[in-house]
């Protein structure tokens, strides 16, 4: 069993060319011997955004704090605390923070991709 305060997990910068002010904390990963899922906490600063991209795996997202949008390449849908997002494999997605506070969300992905 792993029990940790999320603030004790290192926040790493997301270093993609088309990303701005995004950090990720790998709360649970294969390093913890989790066999199926990884849990990540993303923190997007005001005006920040992730790149518009796709993956071969699904994402489950839960918005904890802040305001923003998720972009699917055609439209943007507003996000706020309590919003749940399912992103299917190979579906375009991008998160943007349009608020004054940090946008924080949990994102779960499969370990085996």
**26 domain-assigned:** yes
Q: Are 79 and 53 in contact (CB under 8 A)?
A: no
Which residue range is the domain that position 65 belongs to?
10-45+54-103
48-57 pLDDT, tens digit each: 999 999 999 9
pTM confidence score = 0.94
Residue 4, pLDDT above cutoff 70: yes
Residue 1, pLDDT above cutoff 90: yes
CATH number of the domain enclosing 14 = 2.60.120.10
**2 domain-assigned:** no
74-107 pLDDT, tens digit each: 999 999 999 999 999 999 999 999 999 999 999 9
**1 domain-assigned:** no
Q: Are 41 and 66 in contact (CB under 8 A)?
A: no
Residue 113, pLDDT above cutoff 70: no
> 16 vs 38, which has greater pLDDT?
38
**23 domain-assigned:** yes
Q: What are phi and psi of 21, to 5 degrees?
A: 55, 50
**36 domain-assigned:** yes
Residue 67, pLDDT above cutoff 70: yes
**99 domain-assigned:** yes
| Domain total in the chain | 1
**3 domain-assigned:** no
What was the pLDDT predicted at 112?
81
**16 domain-assigned:** yes
């Amino acid at each position: 069993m792993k029990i940790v305060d999320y603030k004790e997990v290192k926040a790493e910068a997301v270093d993609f060319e088309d990303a701005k002010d995004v950090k990720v904390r790998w709360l649970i990963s294969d390093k913890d011997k989790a066999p199926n899922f990884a849990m990540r906490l993303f923190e997007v600063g005001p005006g920040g955004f992730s790149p518009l991209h796709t993956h071969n795996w699904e994402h489950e997202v839960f918005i904890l704090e802040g305001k923003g949008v998720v972009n699917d390449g055609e439209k943007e849908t507003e996000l706020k605390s309590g919003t749940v997002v399912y992103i299917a494999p190979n579906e375009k997605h991008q998160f943007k923070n349009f608020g004054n506070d940090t946008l924080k969300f949990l994102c779960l992905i499969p370990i085996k991709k």
